[in-house]
Structure 1
Amino acid sequence: MMANFGRVVEVMVAGMTFSMDNFAIEGTVPFDSDPLPNESEIKIWNLTAATVNKIKRNDTLVVNAGYKGDVGVILHGFVSSVQTVREGVDRITRIKVIDSEDLSERTFKDVSYKEGTLASYIIRAMAGQIGLPIAQFELVQDYRYMDGYTASGEVTEIISKVAEDCKTSVYINKGKLYVRNLKRGRGEDHLFKLNESTGLIGVPEYQDDEDSKGYQITSQLQYRITTASVIDLSSEDFTGRLYVRSGSHTFSRTGDFVTSVEAIL
Structure 2
Amino acid sequence: MKFWKRQATLQIGSKRFGMDDLYFKFTVPFEDSEKLGTATIEAYNLSPATRNSIKKGMPIILNAGYEGDIGAIFTGKVSQVSDKHSGTEVITTIAAAEALEEWLSKEVNKTYTAGSKASAIVKDLLNIFGLEVGTMELAVDKEYPRGKVCKGKVKNVLTEIVTSDCKSRFLIRNGIVTINDPKTGTKTGYVLSAESGLLQAAEATDRTETTTRQTTVKDGKEKQEVTYKRECLLNYHLAPADVVKIKSDTLNGNHLIKGGQHTGCPDGDWKTTIEVKPV
Same fold (TM over 0.5): yes
| C-alpha distance in 2 between matches for 1:242 and 1:36 | 21
Which of the residues 252, 260, 265 maps onto 2:273?
Answer: 260
- 1:104 and 2:104 correspond: yes
- State the distance in 1 between where 2:16 and 2:118 align: 42
1:31-53 deviations in Å (ceiling 9; x for gaps): 22233322211111011101222
In the alignment, which of 261, 270, 277 is matched to residue 248 of structure 1? 261
> 1 CA distance for matches of 2:34 and 2:236?
21
1:1-265 correspondence to structure 2 within 5 Å: 6-102=5-101, 103-108=103-108, 111-164=110-163, 165-187=165-187, 190-203=188-201, 205-209=209-213, 210-265=223-278
Cα distance in 1 for partners of 2:235, 2:180 equals 22
Paired positions, count? 261
Deviations 1:72-127, CA, capped at 9 Å, x for gaps = 11111111222221111110111111111232343445x32222111112212222
Structure 2 residues without counterparts, runs of 5 or longer = 214-222
Query: Could you tell me which amino acid in structure 1 is paired with residue 151 of structure 2?
Result: S
Cα root mean square deviation, aligned: 2.1
Deviates more, 1:32-41 or 1:221-230: 32-41
Q: Which secondary structure state, in structure 1, belongs to the residue aligned with residue 29 of structure 2?
A: strand
**AA aligned opposite 1:193:** V
1:9-58 superposed Cα distances (whole Å, 9 cap, x missing partner):
11012222211123221011122223332221111101110122233322
Instruction: Say which SS state the counterpart of residue 159 (structure 2) adopts.
Output: helix
Question: SS in structure 1 opposite 2:100?
Answer: coil
Unaligned runs of 5+ in 1: none
SS of the equivalent of 1:115 reads coil
* 8 A Cα contact 1:191 1:231, kept in partner: yes
For the 8 Å contact 2:106–2:128, the answer to whether it is kept is no
CA distance in 2, matches of 1:49, 1:26: 19
Q: String of CA shifts for 1:153-212, please: whole Å, max 9, x gaps.
A: 43222212211222210011111211112443234xx53111122111233722344253
Task: Give the TM-score normalised by structure 2.
Answer: 0.86
Query: Which letter does structure 1 place at the counterpart of 2:20?
Result: D
CA distance in 2, matches of 1:97, 1:78: 5
Shift in Å at residue 150 of structure 1? 2.2
Cα deviation, residue 251, structure 1: 0.6
Cα distance in 2, alignment partners of residues 115 and 221 from structure 1: 50
Alignment partner of 1:158: what SS? helix
TM-score, normalised relative to structure 1: 0.90
